[in-house]
Amino acid sequence: MKLQTFMMLALLAPVAVCAAGPQQSAGEAGEAMKEHPVTRAAATQWGPAPPVLPAGAQAAILAGDPGKDGMFTLRLKMPAGYRVPRHWHPSDESVTLVEGDLTLSMGEAANAHAKTLAPGDFLNLPARMQHEASTKGGATVQIHSMGPFQITYVDPKDDPRNAQAEPAKK
């Protein structure tokens, strides 16, 4: 009987401590709110996607800095018919389809398999996995990864940065 009572008290003590939680003043609670910004979908500040991606997409950084070490979250809005050619990243890339349609072809081209995502679907692409993304009707995706963000196109001719570096042909 004593053992059962002891076990019950041992299990309930942490629950009681957690339930009580730390006490915060109104000022501390206000400061905590400042540290946890909310990005409202309607207030998302879109700008042109970085030149590492094909022209036409828009991007919004929600958290972190893709150009620096550490976690970042960004949204990418792709117009109808948009395609990011086969590429890979040096770190994992987590993708959530927010709206629209998105098809991801994953793996080396000869052995690739495709997945079509529906809004709300999530996919984690391991570091160095070759993949390409396309949308028929347009899509908004949310991407979580570790910076600095890097992309290596399997075919260097697909890299938009190389196209910008080429002189105009006459």
Classify residue 159 as exposed, middle or buried by CB count within 10 Å of its CB (0-12, 13-18, 19+). Answer: buried
Contacts 24+ apart (CB under 8 A), 154-160: 154/85, 154/86, 154/87, 154/88, 154/109, 154/130, 155/85, 155/86, 158/85, 158/86, 158/87, 159/52, 160/51, 160/52, 160/53, 160/54, 160/55
Instruction: Express as a percent the part of the chain with pLDDT over 90.
Output: 63
User: Is 170 inside any structural domain?
Assistant: no
pLDDT tens, position by position, 130-158: 999 999 999 999 999 999 999 999 999 99
User: Is 85 inside any structural domain?
Assistant: yes
Dig out the tokens for 164 from the structure. 């910008």
User: Is 26 inside any structural domain?
Assistant: no
Domain count across the chain: 1
- Do 46 and 58 touch, CB atoms closer than 8 A? yes
Residues in the chain, how many? 170
Find the CATH number of the domain harbouring 123: 2.60.120.10
User: Is 32 inside any structural domain?
Assistant: no
User: Is 19 inside any structural domain?
Assistant: no
User: Is 16 inside any structural domain?
Assistant: no
pLDDT tens, position by position, 98-107: 999 999 999 8
pLDDT tens, position by position, 19-56: 444 454 555 555 555 577 788 888 899 999 999 999 99
State which residues form the domain around 123: 56-154
User: Is 40 inside any structural domain?
Assistant: no
